[in-house]
Structure 1
Amino acid sequence: MGDRVLVGDVGGTNVRFALAKRADGKIEIEEFAKLAGDNFDTFDAALQQYFDDTGLTPKQACFAMAGPVQGGEVELTNRNWQVSAKRLCDRFEFDDVQIINDFTAMARSVPEHSPDYFEEVLTGEEKPDLPVIVAGPGTGFGVATLFPLGDDAWRVLTGEGGHIAYAPRDTLEFDVASVLMRDQGYVSNELVASGMGLEYVHSAFCEVFGRDMEDVSPEDMRKRADAGDEMFDQLIAMRAKAVMGAVGDLALANGALGGIVLAGGVTERIVDYLRRPEAIARFRERGPMSGYLANCPVRLMHDPEAPLIGAAAYYAQEMQT
């Protein structure tokens, strides 16, 4: 990747743009900007704003989008934006535009990071020739599987794994899930663990605990939990157990003994809950298969620019094949 490529990380809340290039084996980010998605009716308008602010006219781009990508097109899961690679090429005179899922980019960034970017959640020994699960809740719940191909090449498989059905496993969780099912119909891991579902989960907890619904921010929920409020403590604990249960399911299904990498803003804010014994049990206790994940490590990746780096790495690899 000798020339700079425009990269974008387009989530349910923010849009991030940058120019990326590989120098001395490392991907470097320049001309970074973060825009609030609510300020724009379309992705094209946000991209135009970036060009107006920077005066840049790049010819290649790779955009990581929070939604299922098919045929160079995507409709964002948590924002009413429809994006087409062909339309972007026509409007902005790109020579080439690649649109990928945001967790494809998140996963592809993992091999580009040094160990300093990872925080240990659960100790273990990764098997470098086996797949890695990269997953976690932010606004939504992203999931990807990273496969090593050798010679520093990687393949990423993505789908909509965050929408796998949530599996309650204790009385409180069954009670809360019953309320969610009544009100929302289908109850997914994304609904329970991600930012987009927090209001629904909060409402369900208030009903189960017999409390009035209040307007409480995630930060205040955490403060109340730390101060001894049982309801908010159990609410955060349920979300953490949902995360660890989900990645355990995914590791079993994919043979991902290369390890688990957690990502996403929600994950970072509840990392101490992920280390609680009951959350670890959700990951490891698998009946007759409990030994399978006994030595599978879980790490948390810290880098807000990870999807941008991953989009650049994905683009560089794809252009070589």
Structure 2
Amino acid sequence: MSDRVLVGDVGGTNVRFALAEKRGGKIEIDEFAKLAGDNFETFDDALRQYLEDTGLNPKRACFAMAGPVRDGEVMLTNRNWHVSAKRLCSQYDFDDIQIINDFTAMARSVPEHSSDYFEEILPGEEIPDLPVIVAGPGTGFGVATLFPLGDDAWRVLTGEGGHIAYAPRDTIEFDVASVLMREQGYVSNELVASGMGLEYVHSAFCEVFGREMEDISPQAMRQRADAGDEMFDQLIAMRAKAVMGAVGDLALANGALGGVVLAGGVTERIVDYLRRPDAIARFRERGPMSGYLANCPVRLMHDPEAPLIGAAAYYAQETLW
């Protein structure tokens, strides 16, 4: 038991737990569980449920949380949970708990995955030893920059990059962004592209297109778009262009010619829209600097367990586990 570390991925929708272990130099996980966040008043309650269900008594843990972390504490961005490593250690008799941002874990997982886990969105050539942007929308919009340090060591820089201001570029986007600005005040890439903002974006599109707002799931929106509904096609296209524009901005700002890795559930559901010429243009067309990103590759990572692997990899590197 002492050789295993409890890892967690805590987002705005779900809480995932697992035990991580190093086997033959590779991180593997077992005792996986996925819990709905709405079923718990606090993260502490979700952790208690997992430990009771499994009968486990781990002494070390690394939890990846969807929010800004400071001094071992975090308030989740899209759920009213405050989490403290000190409090958890006291309550559950842990020897050590590390709390990190969820996209720190997502980014740190990238070097741990083989090429089989990645789908090409835009072809290109990674330049070794340069930063990699890891970003994408799920419930929120996570952003991290992955820096190679050599000798299989990595450093991850995280912030709240998903809350960078959204930049509309065409008539429909300006009209929709104007409605969002009137209703929400500040319009971020997270508001436009992520799950938490979809209802607001849908409402704004209905106003722009002169249609009644209806209760409709993201899956049904996609079905309408595929059937030729212009409004829903434009809505999904706007979200895809927001993603590609945002990661292009981030790559340009960070000199991230090591490539871009997209992640997040929303990203996976709109992958064909990310490949549309207008979305590709948002990534590559940079005025006099357009050539800078011309050969920068964009890949999509497929692994729902990636943040758990990344949390374990982070813990291993930082604590010499």
TM-score normalised over the length of structure 1: 0.99
What code does the residue aligned with 1:76 have?
L
Deviations 1:224-276 (A, max 9, x none): 00000000000000000000000000001100000000000000000000000
1:272 aligned partner: 272
1:109-258 equivalences in 2 (<5 Å) = 109-258=109-258
What code does the residue aligned with 1:11 have?
G
* Aligned mates of 1:62, 1:142 — CA distance in 2: 18
In the alignment, is the contact (CA less than 8 A) between 2:8 and 2:64 conserved in 1? yes
1:4 aligned partner: 4
Alpha-carbon shift at residue 320 of structure 1 (Å): 2.3
In the alignment, is the contact (CA less than 8 A) between 1:8 and 1:308 conserved in 2? yes
1:27 aligned partner: 27
Deviations 1:162-184 (A, max 9, x none): 00000000010000000000000
2:105 aligned partner: 105
In the alignment, is the contact (CA less than 8 A) between 1:177 and 1:187 conserved in 2? yes
Of all paired residues, the percent bearing the same amino acid is 88
Deviations 1:188-234 (A, max 9, x none): 00000000000000000000000000001000000000000000000
What code does the residue aligned with 1:188 have?
S
Q: Which runs of 5+ in 2 are unaligned?
A: none
What is the number of residues matched between the two proteins? Answer: 321
2:47 aligned partner: 47
Helix, strand or coil: the match of 1:8?
Answer: strand
1:288 aligned partner: 288
* Aligned mates of 1:158, 1:36 — CA distance in 2: 25
Helix, strand or coil: the match of 2:235?
Answer: helix
* Aligned mates of 2:25, 2:181 — CA distance in 1: 49
* Aligned mates of 1:122, 1:101 — CA distance in 2: 27
Helix, strand or coil: the match of 1:212?
Answer: coil
What code does the residue aligned with 1:255 have?
G
In the alignment, is the contact (CA less than 8 A) between 2:12 and 2:79 conserved in 1? yes
Alpha-carbon shift at residue 25 of structure 1 (Å): 1.7
In the alignment, is the contact (CA less than 8 A) between 1:221 and 1:232 conserved in 2? yes
Alpha-carbon shift at residue 2 of structure 1 (Å): 7.7
In the alignment, is the contact (CA less than 8 A) between 1:2 and 1:22 conserved in 2? no
1:85 aligned partner: 85
Helix, strand or coil: the match of 1:107?
Answer: helix
What code does the residue aligned with 1:123 have?
P
* Aligned mates of 1:251, 1:121 — CA distance in 2: 15
Helix, strand or coil: the match of 2:143?
Answer: strand
* Aligned mates of 1:101, 1:121 — CA distance in 2: 26
* Aligned mates of 1:212, 1:203 — CA distance in 2: 9
1:299 aligns with 2:302: no
* Aligned mates of 1:83, 1:210 — CA distance in 2: 43
Q: Which runs of 5+ in 1 are unaligned?
A: none
* Aligned mates of 1:223, 1:127 — CA distance in 2: 39
2:320 aligned partner: 320
In the alignment, is the contact (CA less than 8 A) between 1:123 and 1:298 conserved in 2? yes
Superposed structure 1 runs of 4+ greater than 3 Å apart: none
Q: What value does the CA root-mean-square deviation take over the aligned residues?
A: 1.0
Alpha-carbon shift at residue 22 of structure 1 (Å): 1.1
Helix, strand or coil: the match of 1:77?
Answer: coil
* Aligned mates of 1:320, 1:253 — CA distance in 2: 32
In the alignment, is the contact (CA less than 8 A) between 2:2 and 2:58 conserved in 1? no
* Aligned mates of 2:290, 2:57 — CA distance in 1: 53
What code does the residue aligned with 2:108 have?
R
* Aligned mates of 1:59, 1:196 — CA distance in 2: 34
1:57 aligns with 2:57: yes
* Aligned mates of 2:2, 2:223 — CA distance in 1: 48
